[in-house]
Structure 1
Amino acid sequence: MPRRFVWFSAFYFFYFATLGTYLPYWPIYLEAQGFALHEVGELMAIALLTKIFAPYIWGWLADKLRRRLTLIRWSDFIAFLAFVPIFYAKDYATIAVILFLFSFFWNASLPQVEVLTLNNLKYHAHRYSLIRLWGSVGFITMNVIGAWLISVWGSDVVPWLMLSLLFLLWLTTQILSESRLPLASSRIPSIVHAFNAPVVALFVICFLIQFVHGPYYAYFTIYMQEQGYQTYTIGWFWAVGVIAEVLVFIYCSVLLRRYSVSCLLFVVITATALRWLLLAYYQDNIAVILFAQSLHAITFGVYHAVLIHAISKLLPGGLEGRGQALYSSLSFGVGGGLGTYIASQLWEQMPSQQLFAYTSLLTLIALFCLLPLRHAERREPLRSP
């Protein structure tokens, strides 16, 4: 692998190592600070809600200024600085402001690094998953290390881990290389004209898949604690899902060449519905929990690789930065943020098993969005060459 791709792999490692600390252990930290469960859910939703607008703002700037790498470096540096005051924040409002500022800049860099990675890969974009899998390795690493550190020093170690990882993330951006593709034109095309039926269908699927992940991202750790599992065991539950994700990333290039986008998304949607159903009714069976977590290979691994590939095909050229930003905004931002917020309002109002069962049923709505994609693929296949 060329050296420049090693540094892209390092970026993904530290970005998702940060996420691998934030998602499972930030709720534990907030709960230890005395916040109610609905407040924990609301605070967790902030980082997702900033994805609604932050990635697109930065994506538009990157497409317009053609200084993508400069924006990436500044956004990650400011995210690091914005997180520093968390050690002095104790009340809800102050923590909310800090999380808003931190996540606004932190959420900005990933979609633009996706563009840089694909552009540097040029005609070998199907190898993207081999670079991206290092993000999953970073996530796993902090799942396991974070659980051990919390068991030794308590939840107060979580913000220190976050700050250290944000600093290392910024350091990796100093070594990334700008896209080697020539600039096609200084004129910035309007993305509105690209919104045909397949593109709209794709973004609706993005929204729905991440919307139904809301209860999982906000409350899976707490849900497992309620079932009597220890923090270290829960850390491994998270890790198993991402280990499976790493394995599927290795073979994603083969899947993208062999199967259509609509076929792979059908598998993603059905696997997602099954995953929530298993968590709803077999939460006390450790073998079933491990199997449900291994489905993360499909519900995120295949899903993400397919979406990155499909968007690069449907929104190429001068739309690439905003295309990847819209994917981040509409899926992890609008979908994940809204799903997390609604889960925070319902978590104490209904049995948690019932909430996961409802999300399983809701997932199946996404199947109807496959029809426009299927029709489009009959005219022009979206598979990798």
Structure 2
Amino acid sequence: MASFRMSRIGPLSTFLGLYAAMYAAFGAASPFWPRYFEARGLTPEELGLLFGLGTAIRLIAGPFANRAADILGALRAILAACIVIAVMAALGLIGAQGFWLLLIVHLVQAAALAPIPTLADALAVRASVRRPGFEYGWVRGAASAAFIAGTLAAGQVVGHFDLSAIVWMHAALLAGALLGAVLVPESDTRAERAADPIGESMIGGVRELLGLATFRRVIVIAALVYGSHAMHDTFSVIRWTAAGVGTAASSLLWSEAVAAEVVVFVLVGPILLRRLGVAGAAALAAGAGILRWMVEAQTTAIWMLATVQPLHGFTFALMHLACMRLIADRVPAHLTATAQALYAVGPGLATASLVWISGRLYGAYGPRGFLIMAALCALSLPLAVRLRDRSTTSV
């Protein structure tokens, strides 16, 4: 029955619904979780422990669940199960009292949430490759727009109700994502799994992936380019404010960057990817990063900042599209979910480390620290130009 309904609705529509609900749920809650837990009586030290352990559990749970999904060939089922657990844990936060119970429920939800985006990406990328007229960028762009809408809506809700309203909103949107997860097409990898017994083991699949030179290169490029955002994300508004840029202007600059991300995902990125190929698109993204961070190192003039903010569409969205295409082309189908998890964890760890390093750089060198971020993008250029997008897993 589910497959019949999906065939009538169409895979693109079901993925759009899944991503819109999923990222709206993230946008509705993510900015407000610290306030929610603070309102429940947690001290700053307890908040640090809660969110720190939440991050750690995500780094473990994401790869584990994705690897299990590949071994079982059940990406959609595990995606749906994770969403159900996340909804139940979110609702459990409403009644939980005391630090330790709040911590346990939060860790359960963090573990359930971790695999959801990467499993969805594994399914969506696979579906986009197999179906003409289906661009992964369209659903990912819808996700970015939905995240913004969720955040804006939650801000209004919090203004009229207490903070527990965001938990209900988050849970309701995740429940909507569950419907999408049930309807999206499954990725059938039985033939590939049967032909590759090594890839069926928990460790063997990871070893096989890391044995692919192209995949290793993708992880390094993503770590360098995504990681280069660390100083901007942490210190840009601080620097702008010190230079006299008002809160409203800073908000507009950030909104401009996010809007560019959506435009590149939906419109510009797929066209550039077809015309330039993966190597050209990745090199363009790295070049955009070099230009963006060099400008931010030199000036806080509003017109200059407004000129380079749209480059976020290239440094993030276009790079992400290029990486997704390479994973679809080069990674065996039965390792797709595992590849998505490693793609998320590797650059994520690099970014976390670079946030810490950025603090030291900014403290020592001020805005000139952005030149180091430009250098990271420059380091990725030689690797980017060596990428080739052809449908083979050879290296």
User: TM-score, normalised to structure 1's length?
Assistant: 0.78
| Aligned residue number for residue 361 of structure 1 | 372
| Aligned residue number for residue 64 of structure 1 | 71
In structure 2, C-alpha distance between the alignment counterparts of 1:200 and 1:208, rounded to whole Å? 13
**RMSD, matched Cα:** 4.1
Report deviation, 1:200.
Answer: 1.9
In structure 2, C-alpha distance between the alignment counterparts of 1:96 and 1:373, rounded to whole Å? 41
In structure 2, C-alpha distance between the alignment counterparts of 1:276 and 1:93, rounded to whole Å? 42
Q: Percentage identity across aligned positions?
A: 19
The question of whether the paired residues in 2 share the 8 Å contact of 1:260 and 1:382 is answered with no
The question of whether the paired residues in 2 share the 8 Å contact of 1:59 and 1:325 is answered with yes
In structure 2, C-alpha distance between the alignment counterparts of 1:154 and 1:102, rounded to whole Å? 21
Structure 1 residue 136 corresponds to structure 2 residue 144: yes
* Higher CA-based Rg: 2
| Aligned residue number for residue 265 of structure 1 | 282
Structure 1 residue 17 corresponds to structure 2 residue 24: yes
Look up the equivalent residue of 1:323 and give its one-letter code: A
Report deviation, 1:167.
Answer: 2.7
The question of whether the paired residues in 2 share the 8 Å contact of 1:52 and 1:330 is answered with no
The question of whether the paired residues in 2 share the 8 Å contact of 1:206 and 1:331 is answered with yes
Summarize the Cα distance change of 1:205–1:46 in structure 2 as closer, same or farther, 3 Å threshold.
farther
| Aligned residue number for residue 310 of structure 1 | 326
Deviates more, 1:82-91 or 1:237-246: 82-91
In structure 1, C-alpha distance between the alignment counterparts of 2:185 and 2:66, rounded to whole Å? 18
Match of 2:341 among 315, 325, 346: 325
Question: Within 5 Å, which residues of 2 pair with 1:88-107?
Answer: 96-107=103-114
Look up the equivalent residue of 1:71 and give its one-letter code: I
Report deviation, 1:75.
Answer: 0.6
The answer for unaligned runs of 5 or more in structure 1 is: none
The question of whether the paired residues in 1 share the 8 Å contact of 2:261 and 2:316 is answered with yes
Summarize the Cα distance change of 1:180–1:139 in structure 2 as closer, same or farther, 3 Å threshold.
same
The question of whether the paired residues in 1 share the 8 Å contact of 2:287 and 2:377 is answered with no
Instruction: Give SS of 1:179's match.
Output: coil
Structure 1 residue 300 corresponds to structure 2 residue 307: no
The question of whether the paired residues in 1 share the 8 Å contact of 2:287 and 2:381 is answered with no
Report deviation, 1:307.
Answer: 0.9
| Aligned residue number for residue 154 of structure 2 | 146
Match of 2:385 among 356, 374, 384: 374
Summarize the Cα distance change of 1:350–1:320 in structure 2 as closer, same or farther, 3 Å threshold.
closer
Question: Within 5 Å, which residues of 2 pair with 1:176-191?
Answer: 176-179=184-187, 183-186=191-194, 187-188=196-197, 189=199, 190-191=205-206
Look up the equivalent residue of 1:6 and give its one-letter code: S
In structure 2, C-alpha distance between the alignment counterparts of 1:326 and 1:14, rounded to whole Å? 24
Instruction: Give SS of 1:272's match.
Output: helix
Instruction: Give SS of 1:184's match.
Output: helix
Match of 2:182 among 166, 174, 184: 174
In structure 2, C-alpha distance between the alignment counterparts of 1:376 and 1:184, rounded to whole Å? 24
Report deviation, 1:302.
Answer: 0.7
The answer for unaligned runs of 5 or more in structure 2 is: 1-7, 200-204
In structure 1, C-alpha distance between the alignment counterparts of 2:280 and 2:34, rounded to whole Å? 36
Look up the equivalent residue of 2:342 and give its one-letter code: L
Summarize the Cα distance change of 1:22–1:272 in structure 2 as closer, same or farther, 3 Å threshold.
farther
Report deviation, 1:238.
Answer: 4.6
Look up the equivalent residue of 1:139 and give its one-letter code: F
Instruction: Give SS of 1:199's match.
Output: helix
In structure 2, C-alpha distance between the alignment counterparts of 1:73 and 1:61, rounded to whole Å? 14
Match of 2:270 among 250, 253, 262: 253
Instruction: Give SS of 1:364's match.
Output: helix
The question of whether the paired residues in 2 share the 8 Å contact of 1:199 and 1:314 is answered with yes
Q: Which has the higher contact order (CA 8 A, sep 6+)?
A: 1
Summarize the Cα distance change of 1:4–1:382 in structure 2 as closer, same or farther, 3 Å threshold.
closer
In structure 1, C-alpha distance between the alignment counterparts of 2:238 and 2:46, rounded to whole Å? 13
In structure 2, C-alpha distance between the alignment counterparts of 1:217 and 1:41, rounded to whole Å? 19
Q: State the aligned residue count.
A: 374
The question of whether the paired residues in 2 share the 8 Å contact of 1:21 and 1:162 is answered with yes
Report deviation, 1:237.
Answer: 5.0
Report deviation, 1:352.
Answer: 11
Report deviation, 1:182.
Answer: 6.5
Report deviation, 1:32.
Answer: 6.8
In structure 1, C-alpha distance between the alignment counterparts of 2:111 and 2:378, rounded to whole Å? 32
1:359-382 C-alpha deviation (Å, 9 max, x unpaired): 5513522433443453454xx758
The question of whether the paired residues in 2 share the 8 Å contact of 1:62 and 1:68 is answered with yes
User: TM-score, normalised to structure 2's length?
Assistant: 0.76
Report deviation, 1:16.
Answer: 1.7
Report deviation, 1:135.
Answer: 0.7
Instruction: Give SS of 1:204's match.
Output: helix
